[in-house]
């Protein structure tokens, strides 16, 4: 195996024996094959030249499966590989002239051993030129993130055919053997542009379906009734779970990236929606034990369970998530998921163990902040807010991420943090206070709500009468971990945001040439020490 798609990759070079994330070699290979056949499906669909909703949906779902910490179930992934080949072969039959189609498009078998053999052969190291590989994978990882957001919008009935077409076309582009570096750079930039579209689509889907997030004080303490803990990013699952459990006597708690569900008016109306439990994804071994009740993982990030865990039988997956030994809840043909088994199980469980008595304010997505913009502008003009620091992105399990807590704590009191994604857990419980009623940590929501942060920046640019978003008193100190953060980064670049500090390390998949390109054109830089970065970013 060789995988270097996330920030925790071994030695910041690549995982070769087993993933630091816990992904085993056979799972890694199955994901490589899934990417391979999905690129083949895209190529065949492009050759046919017809928009096919089912194919587009499948492509996004498949890419999503391979995101870090989404699916550890090798058997389930090979099943998806077979479904993809079947779908592709059906399309292939409609093409008379197969001349010029690549092996991605033509490869076909249902034989398990042949699939396993192929899975070993199709890894990312097949691209020999380091810069070509770097830009190809940067595109592919961006597409994975985009596909995840696209899928979340799709299940709510929102589609943008431009996004679907782009994903299919770009996937095919990454398979071409004679790639020129400038063309690949264009592809990367186009991926960012379409990433903005996908995030805008998801924003519309979420806010139209569930209302605009609003300022909310979220309770992190445990109640005394049995509960269900829901994690991941899928708000559609959240809605179905709340609705199905409303008269059951069971309470619903969010974990990690599901926290922002607390900010939506549609969800707040359920009395049995208790609040949030715990922190970001990598604390789940301990926090899932303490929760006592069942857990529903709707997407990434799953952490492999410890051998002596007590929640294996209580953890369920849905959507593109999967974990061997955990029951997977499939959607029916109408997208409905039956969570009754989880609800019944919850009734037999003890209430969660209380982890903390804490209330944290969030819900500062673009609509809410724009409503407050007069006050914000007033505070800036009065000199009470000197700077905004965008600190969105991902959290991760390594000690080096203490940097983000220390950086947040070290910021002067006239600096406001704008955040989205699970990176917030590094500083949202620190009690950083407020500036005349404006909290110093403004949480817009999930990682996809980084779109909101850009909308806020654009609104501030207008409010201050500036021409360029980079003239605002804003610094970007982004933490990345998985591929959703890759599309967020590419989207920010495509919107013209410059001088982003990226950490805790630069992606291993960026070759020195690609890093030089990003430095020269966008001023991207790695983080340094807390002291040095505070000095630069607060200057
Ligand atoms: Fe390694 Fe990250 Fe790939 Fe897991 S997802 S195998 S940790 S690079
Ligand atoms: Fe977190 Fe996995 Fe990226 Fe959605 S839950 S931000 S890491």
Angle at 160 between CA 39 and CA 106, to 5 degrees: 15
Tokens 């090979």 correspond to what residue? 78
How far is Cα of residue 456 from the mean position of the Cα atoms in its chain? 20
- Tell me how far apart the alpha carbons of residues 117 and 122 are, in angstroms, rounded to a whole number: 9
pLDDT reported for residue 179:
79
pLDDT digits (tens, 9 = 90+) for 262-318: 999 999 999 999 999 999 999 999 999 999 999 999 999 999 999 999 999 999 999
Checking if the pLDDT of 3 tops 80, the result is: yes
The CA 330 to ligand 1 mean position distance, Å, reads 26
The CA 450 to ligand 1 mean position distance, Å, reads 23
Residue 18 CA, closest ligand 1 atom number: 6
How far is Cα of residue 265 from the mean position of the Cα atoms in its chain? 23
The CA 301 to ligand 2 mean position distance, Å, reads 6
Q: Longest Cα pair distance anywhere in the chain, in angstroms?
A: 70
Reported as type and span, the H/E element at residue 391 is none
Q: Across the beta sheet with 500-503, what order do the strands follow?
A: 441-443, 415-419, 387-390, 474-479, 500-503, 525-526
**Does the CB atom of residue 20 touch ligand 1 within 6 A?**
yes
Helices (H), 211-336: 235-244, 265-268, 284-291
Residue 482 CA, closest ligand 2 atom number: 3
pLDDT digits (tens, 9 = 90+) for 450-488: 999 999 999 999 999 999 999 999 999 999 999 999 999
Can you tell me the mean pLDDT for 77-96?
A: 98
What DSSP string runs through 286-337? HHHHHH-S-EEE-SS---PPPTT-S-GGGEEEETT-B-TTSEEE---TTS--
Residue 256 CA, closest ligand 2 atom number: 5
Can you tell me the mean pLDDT for 53-73?
A: 98
Nearest CA to ligand 1 atom 3: 3
pLDDT digits (tens, 9 = 90+) for 156-170: 999 999 999 999 999
CA distances from 306 to 155, 265, 285, 495, 508 (A): 33, 37, 7, 42, 28
Can you tell me the mean pLDDT for 117-134?
A: 95
pLDDT digits (tens, 9 = 90+) for 387-444: 999 999 999 999 999 999 999 999 999 999 999 999 999 999 999 999 999 999 999 9
Beta-carbon contacts of 521 under 8 Å, excluding residues fewer than 6 positions away, are none
- In the chain, pLDDT over 70 holds for what percent of residues? 100
Quote the tokens at residue 155. 């299940």
- In the chain, pLDDT over 90 holds for what percent of residues? 99
Checking if the pLDDT of 366 tops 90, the result is: yes
pLDDT digits (tens, 9 = 90+) for 427-437: 999 999 999 99
pLDDT digits (tens, 9 = 90+) for 45-57: 999 999 999 999 9
Query: Residue 228 in contact with residue 253, Cβ under 8 Å?
Result: yes
The CA 71 to ligand 2 mean position distance, Å, reads 14
CA proximity to 397, closest of 81, 20, 13: 20
10 Å CB burial of residue 133 (0-12, 13-18, 19+) is: buried
Residues in the annotated binding site for hybrid [4Fe-2O-2S] cluster: 233, 257, 301, 394, 422, 447, 482, 484
Checking if the pLDDT of 178 tops 90, the result is: no
- Tell me how far apart the alpha carbons of residues 36 and 539 are, in angstroms, rounded to a whole number: 47
- Tell me how far apart the alpha carbons of residues 119 and 488 are, in angstroms, rounded to a whole number: 29
- Helix or strand or coil: residue 15? strand
Residues in the annotated binding site: 3, 6, 15, 21, 233, 257, 301, 394, 422, 447, 482, 484
Ligand 2, pocket residues at CB < 6 Å:
69, 233, 256-257, 281, 300-301, 394-395, 421-422, 446-447, 481-482, 484-485
pLDDT reported for residue 474:
96
Checking if the pLDDT of 177 tops 80, the result is: no
The CA 449 to ligand 1 mean position distance, Å, reads 24
Quote the tokens at residue 25. 């070699």
- How many residues are present in the chain? 539
Can you tell me the mean pLDDT for 488-492?
A: 96
Q: What string of H, E and C letters represents the secondary structure of 41-86?
A: HHHHHHHHCCCCHHHHHHHHHHHHHCCCCCECCHHHHHHHHHHHHH
The CA 482 to ligand 1 mean position distance, Å, reads 9
Query: Residue 404 in contact with residue 423, Cβ under 8 Å?
Result: yes
- Helix or strand or coil: residue 202? helix
- Tell me how far apart the alpha carbons of residues 120 and 229 are, in angstroms, rounded to a whole number: 37
């Amino acid at each position: 195996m060789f995988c270097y798609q996330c920030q925790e990759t071994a030695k910041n070079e690549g995982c070769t024996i087993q993933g630091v994330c816990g992904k085993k070699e056979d799972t890694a290979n199955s994901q490589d094959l899934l990417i391979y056949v999905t690129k083949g499906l895209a190529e065949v669909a492009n050759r046919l030249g017809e928009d096919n909703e089912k194919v587009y949906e499948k492509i996004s779902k498949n890419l999503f499966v391979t995101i870090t910490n989404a699916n550890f179930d090798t058997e389930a992934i090979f099943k998806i590989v077979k479904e993809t080949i079947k779908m592709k072969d059906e399309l292939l039959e409609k093409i008379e002239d197969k001349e010029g189609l690549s092996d991605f498009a033509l490869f076909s078998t249902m034989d398990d051993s042949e699939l396993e053999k192929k899975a070993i052969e199709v890894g990312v190291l097949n691209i020999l030129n380091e810069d070509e590989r770097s830009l190809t994978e940067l595109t592919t990882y961006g597409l994975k993130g985009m596909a995840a957001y696209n899928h979340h919008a799709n299940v709510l009935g929102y589609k943008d055919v431009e996004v679907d077409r782009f994903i299919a076309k770009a996937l095919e582009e990454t398979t071409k053997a004679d790639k020129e570096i400038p063309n690949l750079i264009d592809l990367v930039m186009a991926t960012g542009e379409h990433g903005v579209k996908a995030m805008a689509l998801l924003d519309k889907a979420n806010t139209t379906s569930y209302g605009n997030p609003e300022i909310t004080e979220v309770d992190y303490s445990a109640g005394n009734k049995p509960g269900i803990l829901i994690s991941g990013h899928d708000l559609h699952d959240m809605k179905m779970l709340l609705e199905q459990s409303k008269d059951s006597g069971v309470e619903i708690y969010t974990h990690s990236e599901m926290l922002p569900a607390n900010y939506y008016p549609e969800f707040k109306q359920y009395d049995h929606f208790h609040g949030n439990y715990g922190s970001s994804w990598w604390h789940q071994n301990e926090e899932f034990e303490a929760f006592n009740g069942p857990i529903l993982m709707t997407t990434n990030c799953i952490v492999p369970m410890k051998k002596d865990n007590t929640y294996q039988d209580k953890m369920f997956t849905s959507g593109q998530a999967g974990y061997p030994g955990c029951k997977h809840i499939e959607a029916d043909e109408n997208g409905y998921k039956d969570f009754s088994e989880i609800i019944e199980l919850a009734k037999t469980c003890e209430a969660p163990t209380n982890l903390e008595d804490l209330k944290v304010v969030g819900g500062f997505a673009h609509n809410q902040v724009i409503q407050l913009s007069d006050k914000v502008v007033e505070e800036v003009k009065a000199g009470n807010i000197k700077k905004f620091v965008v600190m969105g992105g991902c959290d991760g399990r390594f000690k080096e991420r203490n940097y983000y807590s220390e950086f947040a704590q070290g910021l002067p009191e006239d600096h406001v943090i704008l955040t989205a994604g699970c990176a917030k857990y590094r500083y949202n419980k620190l009690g950083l206070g407020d500036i005349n009623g404006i909290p110093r940590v403004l949480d817009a929501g999930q990682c996809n709500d980084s779109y909101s942060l850009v909308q806020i920046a654009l609104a501030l640019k207008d409010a201050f009468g500036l021409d360029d978003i980079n003239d605002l008193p804003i610094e970007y100190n982004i933490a990345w971990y998985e591929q959703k953060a890759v599309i967020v980064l590419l989207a920010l670049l495509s919107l013209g945001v410059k001088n982003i500090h990226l950490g805790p390390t630069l992606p291993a998949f960026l070759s020195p040439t690609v890093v030089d390109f990003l430095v020269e054109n966008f001023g991207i830089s790695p983080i340094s020490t807390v002291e040095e970065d505070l000095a630069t970013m607060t200057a």
